[in-house]
C-alpha cells in the first residue's frame, strides 16, 4: 500500500509541475503551438533517462524511490517519459522491430483512438 501512496503523491506533484510548465509556456511563447506539451515530453524523457541510469549505478536504491520518482512524479509529469523508457529498453535489448512497432502503434493508434472518441461523442450530440 505504501507504494500506491508514493505513486499518488509523486503523480500529484508531477501533474502540478506539468500544469505549471504549460502555463509558463503559454505566457512566454503564446498559444500558437503546444510548447508546454513538447517541453514536458522532452524534459520528462530526459529526466527519466537520468533517473534510471542514476538508479542503476546506485546500490541499495529502494523500490519506493523508483515508485515515487519514476512512476509517480515523472508519470504524472508526462507519460511520454514511460513510453520513451519502454522504447529504449526494447531497442537496447536488441528488439528493434518490436520497438518500432511499439512506437508506431502507440503514436498512430493513440491518435486514431482520440479521433474515434471525438467522433463518438460528436455523433451522439
Q: Using one digit for the tens of pLDDT, what is the confidence trace for 53-102?
A: 998 888 878 889 999 999 999 999 988 888 898 999 999 999 999 999 99
**Of 9, 4, 11, which Cα lies nearest the Cα of 81?**
11
Task: For residue 75, give the C-alpha cell.
Answer: 508519470
Determine the Cα–Cα distance for residues 4 and 72; give it in Å rounded to an integer.
9
Q: Where are the domains of the chain?
A: 2-78
- For the entire predicted model, the pTM comes to 0.79
- What pLDDT, on a 0 to 100 scale, did the predictor assign at position 79? 81
- What pLDDT, on a 0 to 100 scale, did the predictor assign at position 19? 96
Is pLDDT of 1 > 80?
Answer: no
Q: Using one digit for the tens of pLDDT, what is the confidence trace for 5-61?
A: 999 999 999 999 999 999 999 999 999 998 998 999 999 999 999 999 998 888 878
- What pLDDT, on a 0 to 100 scale, did the predictor assign at position 23? 97
Determine the Cα–Cα distance for residues 48 and 54; give it in Å rounded to an integer.
10
Amino acid at each position: 500500500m505504501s507504494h500506491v501512496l508514493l505513486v499518488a503523491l509523486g503523480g500529484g506533484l508531477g501533474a502540478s509541475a506539468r500544469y505549471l510548465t504549460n502555463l509558463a509556456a503559454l505566457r512566454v511563447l503564446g498559444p500558437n503551438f503546444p510548447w508546454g506539451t513538447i517541453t514536458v515530453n522532452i524534459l520528462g524523457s530526459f529526466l527519466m533517462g537520468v533517473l534510471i541510469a542514476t538508479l542503476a549505478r546506485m546500490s541499495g536504491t529502494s523500490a519506493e524511490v523508483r515508485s515515487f520518482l519514476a512512476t509517480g512524479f515523472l508519470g504524472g509529469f508526462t507519460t511520454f517519459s514511460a513510453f520513451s523508457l519502454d522504447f529504449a529498453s526494447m531497442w537496447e535489448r536488441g528488439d528493434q522491430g518490436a520497438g518500432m512497432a511499439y512506437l508506431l502503434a502507440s503514436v498512430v493508434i493513440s491518435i486514431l483512438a482520440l479521433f474515434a472518441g471525438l467522433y463518438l461523442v460528436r455523433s451522439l450530440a
